[in-house]
Amino acid sequence: MDRIANLCKRRGFIFPSAEIYGGFGGFWDWGPLGQKLKENIKAAWWRDFVLLWDDVVGIDGTIITNPKVWEASGHATNFTDVLVECKKCHHRFKGDDIGQTCPDCGGQLTEPRRFNTMFKTTVGPVEESGSVAYLRPETCQTIFVNYENVRETMRMKLPFGIAQVGKSFRNEITPGNFVFRSREFEQMELEYFVPPAESRKYFDEWVTRCRQWLVDHGIKPEKIQLYEQKPDELAHYSKATTDILYAFPFGKGWSELWGIANRGDYDLRQHGKMARGDEQVFATAIGDDPLAKQVPYVIEPSLGLDRMALAFLLDAYDVVTGGRTTTTESTKEEEVVLHLHPDIAPVKAAVLPLSKKPELQKLAHEITQKLRRSWTTMYDETGSIGRRYRRQDEIGTPFCITVDFESVEGGKRPQGTVTIRHRDTMEQEVVDHNDLVAWMHERLG
């Protein structure tokens, strides 16, 4: 984990928030490559779970909403952690994470007390009890309160889904393990509304689908496992929950990456009762019979984007000792390679003129601008070609395009051709520079 954290800072993936002031616990800033990594994960997830489906649409709800939403959902009373404090050093901990004494100084701990982890704020110019509101601790509730709006305006019939990507906030007592547990994070949530009698079928389908998505995007199958929560572990709203666990390098070795829950009809009934005084207000036609109505059950595949990005970085991280296999790149130093799936790699291609000769720079810049219309492309002319290859390996760039003298003058290769070096195999491929866009489209879309 330390190696990943160091790489992320050194290469512009993730920085401590407000580092020049000593940082701010539980908050992180995503640098240029980290921001692009997250954008690519979001784009791949949105494409595969929203755009390619006839029955899933998206919304973008507010971060602050009517506080009655959190009363109805149970967050006002149930969204709590157990807090204990050391009487000697005054460090605070989650009560279910430690033993009888302070892990930092061995001091005596206070009695456990409940601590609501929602961030409070106020709305309006005067701070008073009636103006108290909360930053959302999850994105799904704005989906539930917009259920009828979306169903009617988009003419949706069961089963159908509503997806949302956005920021959430939780005042974690003990954030840690880099970006695994933060106080500000992004979620990717999808609520799939189904007839109650068919909820188990759809639940199982979503578990399978989510696991396969991870494997398809580069997560090693042996690094993930499914965990079905026991009845006493379920959230108050859940009828069934299966967690996809990843082998993170901390704790007991397996931690939650993606949760798939059967939330039943809890949320729609609660909001119906709180807002309209009727638990059945969101009852929806089942099948073709308009008189056969039920409050739908909802299947919720929910994941944290920051945690997902960390898992992809950990899984892609590889250290090669003694150099890679070609003579021109050989080195006795350790070399880091990120084997990121091309869909999510922050930079898709790097264009490298072999030297700073104007004729090579001119063609390399032309290629870079052409590719940038469709993909994030980096231009790099500084250092030996082997060193530049290694820089791109370290940030996960799948393709390096080298412009050399044969590209502009011809010789052993036809004039106008460039060489493309593949990150994972280091194979070199010759392509005419006019065909590069088609070549990239074929591999990246």
Residues 340-444, CATH architecture: 3-Layer(aba) Sandwich (3.40)
pLDDT at 328: 43
Decide if pLDDT at 325 tops 50: no
Q: Give the pLDDT confidence of 407-440 residue by residue, as tens digits.
A: 999 888 999 999 999 999 999 999 999 999 999 9
This prediction's pTM: 0.91
Return residue ranges of the chain for CATH 3.30.930.10.
2-72+129-312
* Residues whose CB is less than 8 angstroms from the CB of residue 164 and which lie 6 or more positions away in sequence, other chains included: 58, 59, 60, 61, 139, 140, 142, 143, 187, 188, 189, 190
The arithmetic mean of pLDDT across residues 74-81, rounded, is: 80
CB-based contact 415:406 (threshold 8 Å):
yes
Return residue ranges of the chain for CATH 3.40.50.800.
340-444
CB-based contact 93:174 (threshold 8 Å):
yes
Question: Which pLDDT band holds residue 324 (cuts at 50, 70, 90)?
Answer: low
Give the CA distances from residue 400 to residues 57, 233, 307, 405, in Å, rounded to whole numbers and listed in that order: 37, 48, 29, 16
Decide if pLDDT at 323 tops 70: no
Residue with tokens 């994470």: 97
Domain spanning 2-72+129-312: CATH 3.30.930.10: yes
* Residues whose CB is less than 8 angstroms from the CB of residue 204 and which lie 6 or more positions away in sequence, other chains included: none
Beta-ladder partners of 335? 320
Distance of CA 188 to the CA centre of its chain: 7
Question: Which pLDDT band holds residue 327 (cuts at 50, 70, 90)?
Answer: very low
The arithmetic mean of pLDDT across residues 134-140, rounded, is: 95
Tokens of 115: 């601590």
Beta strands in 112-152 (DSSP E): 113-116, 120-122, 132-134
Q: Residue 241 burial (CB < 10 Å; 0-12/13-18/19+)?
A: buried
Closest CA to 183 of 27, 377, 393, 55: 27
Beta-ladder partners of 301? 260
The arithmetic mean of pLDDT across residues 270-296, rounded, is: 92
User: pLDDT over 90 for what percent of the chain?
Assistant: 79
CB-based contact 392:423 (threshold 8 Å):
yes
What's the farthest any 2 CA atoms get from each other in the chain?
81
The arithmetic mean of pLDDT across residues 60-89, rounded, is: 88
376 phi and psi, to 5 degrees? -70, 120
